[in-house]
């Protein structure tokens, strides 16, 4: 367990997990709770998580209150490693929200960036040799069969 993967979760992973307990995004968050990998988070990324999860349409879909989102984020903070953004490489993506996800991954020396929108990051991930995975691929490759890793 000493060589746990260091991962940055795109905001859409948290949104997807909040909407359904059936998918890979929820399974990845459950694995985080079990401390099966290290999630890296910067202050701007945590603020993005909060802003998106507190949007009225997100609260409505999940039947959540602002207090429930706060409780979730507080719990999430117990399972993450903070990353200080020493270097900013902007612009690398078309979306400013994607920039902070990428910068957290690069500054935190992440093993991978996990996103449902891999197309948004593909060019930058190649440029920086950063592994880019969907939650399903991450779960299968690193959580389901971890003993197969080299």
The ranges assigned to domains in the chain are 6-145
Tell me what pLDDT residue 100 has: 85
CATH, range 6-145? 3.40.50.1010
Cβ-based neighbour number of residue 84 at 10 Å = 9
H-helix or E-strand spanning residue 132: strand 131-133
98, burial (CB in 10 Å: exposed 0-12, middle 13-18, buried 19+): buried
Q: Which of 50, 55, 95 is nearest to 77 (CA)?
A: 50
Tell me what pLDDT residue 1 has: 44
Q: Which positions of the chain have pLDDT values less than 50?
A: 1, 149-150
Single pTM value for the model: 0.89
Instruction: Determine contact, residues 119/12, Cβ cutoff 8 Å.
Output: no
């Amino acid at each position: 367990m000493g060589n746990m993967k260091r991962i940055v979760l795109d905001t859409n992973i948290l949104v997807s997990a909040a909407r359904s307990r059936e998918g890979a995004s929820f399974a990845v968050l459950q694995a985080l709770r079990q401390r099966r990998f290290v999630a890296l988070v910067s202050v701007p990324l945590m603020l993005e998580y909060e802003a998106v999860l507190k949007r009225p349409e997100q609260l409505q879909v999940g039947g959540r209150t602002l207090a429930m989102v706060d409780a979730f984020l507080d719990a999430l903070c117990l399972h993450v490693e903070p990353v200080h953004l020493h270097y900013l490489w902007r612009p690398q993506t078309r979306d400013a929200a994607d920039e902070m996800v990428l910068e957290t991954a690069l500054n935190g020396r992440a093993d991978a960036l996990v996103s449902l929108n891999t197309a948004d990051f593909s060019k930058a991930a190649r440029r920086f040799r950063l592994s880019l995975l969907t939650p399903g691929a991450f779960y299968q490759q690193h959580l389901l069969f971890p003993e197969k890793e080299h």
